[in-house]
Amino acid sequence: MKITKGILRQIIREEIKDVKNSLLTEAFQSDTLRKLSAGRINRDFFSATAGKYGIQWDKVEDHQIERLRTPKKKGISFAVAGKNIEYLRSKTRQSSYYDSSRIYVGITKGRLIAVVKDGKPLHMGSNYRAPEVGTAGEIDSYSRTMVGLDAFGYRSLKSIQGIDGLMWYHLDLSKSAEYMGALEVGKLRKAARYGASKFTTPEEFSKQQKERYSKAVKAMKNDPKRIKKEVTKATKHLDKMMKEVLDAKSPTMKKHLKRLSKEYGRDVFDNKLFSAASNIAGRSEDLFRVYADYLREANDSRRKWSGPTRNMEWLDSYAATVVDSTRNILKLKAHTFVN
């Protein structure tokens, strides 16, 4: 027989499926769980229930699984066919022209019929992240399938119990059980993955801390009333420094005048005064430029956007620039421009 690419792909897919199944069953200590996993159960069922209910399936032993005739009200129970069942009673409304009181199901002995948690059958679904497990009300109807038989009319505990020859395998889910703890393990793994992805060294951690702090401070500074108040204070301070420089009558300015006039002459001092006035005017121009940018972005953000968006991050940056500028201006002294 000639081996084509299509046949080769099929062989590879089958081998991968066998490896996945063998890895899953080899992880169980319990022979009962190995048999249940072979009974047409979704291969994602055990990982999904471990994540949601905290069951560490690899730690469950046979003596911890009870074999019952009926399921208990609490815990998780597996319903397994105790014999071959070809037909079940139909639950659909019958037509006056066509009547069929039975449906073919072809159930073989040992096949999983249903998994029940706290009296409610479990269903599997999927979203864009990972497989989901839960009761019918917890899973989206568009992707929901009942774990097990999933036949119309047999999706409630009462109807499932009406099937002859079922065997029930029950597992207690109380927190004190030795095999309960997958939720904590999952949290630790998640934390480990977060650490590995966000920072690998103390320096990286410190960098992340500074970035988060910087964002928080920028958001805190984005207060229009506070910014207006800070700009007003900075403006008054600039006016005060400009008056002090041009008048040159304050004790500090007279001291500089005496020193510079003695060393270089009065002209040098006058030149420094005009240079200082120019620098103060430049500070004022820069302040109102960044303040105008902030007001423009604030108006655009209120008009176009609502809620936390990328634009709000930019607005926080504009606000931080204005506040930092006002704080730097308030630290200035007039005589520093003349030195």
| Span 16-64, pLDDT tens digits | 444 444 434 446 888 888 888 876 676 688 888 888 888 888 889 999 9
Are residues 32 and 113 located together in one domain of the fold?
yes
For residues 25 and 110, membership in a common domain is answered with yes
Residue where a domain terminates, one of 189, 216, 236: 189
Range of the domain at 301: 204-337
Residues 9 and 157 in one domain: yes
Of 219, 238, 323, 234, give the one whose Cα is nearest residue 280. 238
pLDDT tens sequence across 56-93: 888 899 999 999 988 898 999 999 998 998 888 877 65
If asked whether residues 154 and 275 sit together in one domain, one would say no
- 260 and 318, same domain (yes or no): yes
- Closest Cα to residue 225, out of 295, 168, 141, 175? 295
| DSSP run (H or E) holding 317 | helix 310-331
**Final residue before a domain boundary, out of 128, 162, 189:** 189
198 belongs to a structural domain: no
**Tens digit of pLDDT for each residue in 284-337?**
888 888 888 888 887 776 655 444 444 567 788 888 888 888 889 999 888 877
Distance CA 242, CA 276 (A): 8
Number of domains the chain is built from: 2
Do residues 183 and 287 share a domain?
no
**C-alpha neighbours within 13 Å on the C-beta side of residue 233:** 17
**φ/ψ of residue 141, rounded to 5:** -65, -25
Decide if 169 contacts 78 (C-beta within 8 A). yes
223 and 183 inside one domain: no
Q: Is 112 helix (H, G, I), strand (E, B) or coil?
A: strand
Same domain, 65 and 213: no
**Is there a single domain that holds both residue 141 and residue 212?**
no
